[in-house]
Chain A
């Protein structure tokens, strides 16, 4: 069985603050893939990142960075110098080797960035 937990249901920050969205996962597969998606108010899910279980290097893309730690089964997402346009619901998702390309989603974290 696979499970993704995003303990933070809502986060509110003021523009320019840094914010970290937590994601903890469970899987019995030794090979698996982790994803983050952004869902702005318009509704469309925007793909942000895909990471496989053998690559624990942290990744940075502009103001976005991801910290993958297998030891704690976490794949946290940090937004540096947040902007109002970052306001959205963010979903962490897991695809285990034996699940094909099916995704297990976390409950999502609603981020509100206030000006």
Chain B
């Protein structure tokens, strides 16, 4: 149980285009979903937290107009990188949690490698 999928797994795009990444919880309802960014050989950096039906909460320094997050249902959240530039190239990982309470386990998707040319 607790499977999270992410699509696409890898994307290459031209500078200036927008890229949408989907995160789905396959066998449970995800009250909360998280989006992380990971640079090579570094730890995960939380970008934003999204709860179903409400606006995402962004971490300090993350541009909400650049990284649009939508959590339209209990099984789907999307991250759209708008007008992508080479510095947005990174590994993006989502996670999903069945609750908002303290200590709820986050289950992670397989990640999306974004390369902006």
On A, residues with C-beta under 8 Å from B are 31-33, 35, 37, 42-47, 50, 52, 91, 95-103, 105-108, 110
With an 8 A cutoff between CB atoms, is B62 at the interface?
no
Query: CA–CA, A37 to B43, complex, Å?
Result: 12
Contact (Cβ within 8 A) B108 A33: no
Number of B residues, CB within 8 Å of A: 27
Closest CB in chain B relative to A17 CB, distance in Å: 23
Q: Report the minimal beta-carbon distance from B4 to chain A, rounded to whole angstroms.
A: 9
B105 lies within 8 A of A50 (CB):
yes
Point out the residues of chain B lying under 8 angstroms from A37, CB to CB.
108
Closest-CB distance, A6 to chain B (whole angstroms): 9
Q: Residues of B contacting A103 with CB < 8 Å?
A: 46, 106
Query: Contact: B104 with A44, CB < 8 Å?
Result: no
Quick one: CB contact mask for B81-98 with A, threshold 8 Å, 1 for yes? 000000000010101010
Residues of B within 8 A of A43 (CB): 91, 93, 110-111, 113
Q: Is the CB of B99 within 8 A of A101?
A: yes
Contacts of B43 in A (CB 8 A): 91, 105-108
Task: Considering the complex, give the chain B residue whose CB is closest to the CB of A107.
Answer: B43
Q: Quote the shortest CB–CB distance from B80 to chain A (angstroms).
A: 21
Contacts of B39-66 to chain A: CB distance below 8 A: 41-44, 46, 49
Q: Which residue of B lies closest to A95 (CB)?
A: B103
Our pick among A44, A47, A101 for the contact of B109 (Cβ within 8 Å) is: A44
A29 to chain B minimum Cβ distance, whole angstroms, is 8
